Structure 1
């Protein structure tokens, strides 16, 4: 199990030696995973721990909140994705103006050397750190030579050997594809389906009235909200049980005054115990597999129900399920 520390003071005294990487890792996409794969391999070669140093909130939310990008994933999903890559520890540092004011040398000395006893560092070619992003890969190499750890730089953004991708892997690219509703391309860049996570809350119950009760995600749900439309995907309960689902994102223009929301109709839920199938209050995960269509205003509930039946059947086909 991965060690998770919410701040440097939680790292046990004498922890290490460690091979360390640093970054926001929003999305933990395929480019990030190149760095993480090498990080874990280097740590194993040295008999050391593989540790990721990451930040919360995202630095842009502190320095320029009005222009900060919508995050691809919340912190819990980021940690789970890092753990899936085999790292031994994740140090989550609260990003504050005081942290931002640390010089590159202070950051490396205090965090990597004194805190994690780094014997090595594996970083992406565009890694920046320290006050004003003054530190780069050359700075890290110089400090590593001085302070006693080796530095390896990875070009994490190759394309030809990464599935023939059309451009460099980046969190920006993932956000662009999700904003366009292209969750399949997003999954190609991420290396897995895009996720949202949130509490199931009560909605207007229109779906239930139409025979399609939905699990409505709280407005505080984490994860980038894809473009409005209907998607085939999966809903995972807190218990780990996964259900095929038809997911709606948008305001449902068939009805007036509906706020934009994310809701999922669980396909194949046990009809004989519908009342027992209660997700309210649960933290659930939605995975977006494919976009079926955009959001359309229908002439009335009957036409909408007819289309929803078609959406469910198409979702079942795309997800490969028979229920």
Structure 2
């Protein structure tokens, strides 16, 4: 999938002369926070429409960065479910040809619904079809909706398709709000059902207090600027994904027990951290790497222990439970002297 950051990066190919055969684009628009199952249905439908419109017609998604809500309400605390690179990666998995990332500003927001559709979708991207969900909003004060989009399409000869809501078993609509609720409750398994894949956070591995290495449980510590919604304190089973995007270890998935919190057993952990212990591995040097952590299941809350031995016993049990949750063999226990300095 090609990624265009701003209008100036859009090539001429999506903008053929009006009436040209087998060219132009099928387009959708949205923030796509989390790229959940509902989003995936819309994106897949855009691909279907582009292919039906003939060779040369591109399937394009228009998205925004930062999230519009943070621009209109700058004091709001809103962490994106996924970082922009991970959001684009999930969008690419639907088969899109391209994504246009528009820098969202108050100036951009202050355009009429008709201006947005005609300037950005029709003229810039050569839209022959526009595919959106029924809750679409666009233009000044979010005054554009599905009905106004149909009217613009009818006037300009652009096909408009409103995709019906996609409902989960039980009748609730797949949504970013639902995913956020699950993550806030630590229910990463249900969040994965909504997203269609495990929830992911991403960050650079930094040096910690090295206590895990001393105890025989070395961990990769993600920095405070971790991208993605961090679940509540506790211990989780999941995967550490070496990400570098293009590096030799890109895509390597390693089973991991993941700890989130301040480690209440010790009094020298100043801030909340995300730490991942890769099962059975004492040889990893991940410092400085950009990695992802995928959450599969919640194992237990964060606990305080009176002494070191019950903590170590609980950590050994965490490793066993993590292996069971991920369906991997239980590794031999690591000894502190086995751990790479």
Name the TM-score, length of structure 1 as normaliser.
Answer: 0.94
Query: Residue 166 of structure 1: CA displacement?
Result: 5.0
Out of 15, 30, 39, the residue aligned to residue 32 of structure 1 is 39
Between the aligned partners of 1:166 and 1:235, the Cα distance in structure 2 is 33
* 1:224 alignment partner, SS class: coil
* Deviation, structure 1 residue 321: 0.6
Q: Deviations over 1:13-55 (max 9, x none)?
A: 2325100000000000011111111111111111221100000
| Deviation for aligned residue 1:86 | 0.6
5 Å-filtered alignment, 1:145-224, equals 145-159=154-168, 164-224=169-229
User: Aligned with 1:292: secondary structure?
Assistant: strand
Q: What CA distance in whole angstroms lies between the structure 1 residues aligned with 2:122 and 2:147? A: 17
State how far apart, in whole Å, the 1-side matches of 2:228 and 2:308 are. 30
Aligned-residue offset at 1:144: 1.0
Kindly state the Cα deviation for residue 68 of structure 1 after the two structures are TM-superposed.
4.3
CA shift, 1:67, in A, is 2.2
* Equivalent-residue separation in structure 2 for 1:211 and 1:31 (angstroms): 43
- The corresponding residue for 2:273 is 261
Moved segments of 4+, more than 3 Å: none
What pairs up with 1:113-124 in 2 under 5 angstroms? 113-124=122-133
CA deviation profile, 1:117-139 (whole Å, cap 9, x unmatched) = 00001000000000100100111
Give me the whole-angstrom Cα distance separating, in 2, the residues matched to 1:250 and 1:166.
35
- Residue in 2 that maps onto 1:46: 53
Q: Does 1:138 align with 2:147?
A: yes
Q: Is 1:246–1:315's contact at 8 Å kept on the other side of the alignment?
A: yes
Match of 1:319 among 320, 326, 332: 326
Give the distance between the partners of 2:37 and 2:144, measured in 1 at CA: 24
Q: Distance in 2 between matches of 1:199 and 1:191?
A: 25
Specify the alignment match of 2:288 in structure 1. Answer: 281
Partners of 1:210 and 1:301 within 8 A in 2: no
- Normalising by structure 2, we get a TM-score of 0.90
Which residue of the partner structure matches residue 247 of structure 1?
258
Report the counterpart of residue 293 of structure 1 in structure 2. Answer: 300
**Aligned position for 1:57:** 66
- Answer yes or no: is 1:234 the counterpart of 2:245: no
CA–CA distance in structure 1, aligned partners of residues 127 and 207 of structure 2? 48
Q: Distance in 2 between matches of 1:111 and 1:312?
A: 51
The verdict on how the C-alpha distance between 1:19 and 1:189 changes in structure 2, with shifts beyond 3 A counting, is same
Task: For residue 75 of structure 2, give the secondary structure of its aligned residue in structure 1.
Answer: helix
Residue segments in structure 2 that go unaligned for 5+ positions in a row: 15-22, 244-248, 332-341
Contact 1:27 1:171 in 2 (8 A): yes
CA distance in 1, matches of 2:280, 2:310: 22
2-side partners of 1:296 and 1:172: how far apart? 29
* Coordinate RMSD, CA, aligned: 1.1
Q: C-alpha deviations, 1:129-159, integer Å up to 9, x for none? A: 0010010011111111112210000123323
Conserved in 2, the CA contact under 8 Å of 1:243 and 1:268?
A: no
- Aligned positions of 1:4-19 closer than 5 A: 4-15=3-14, 16-19=23-26
1:197-249, CA deviations, whole angstroms, 9 ceiling, x for partnerless residues? 11101111121121111000111111110011100000111322111000001
Aligned length: 313
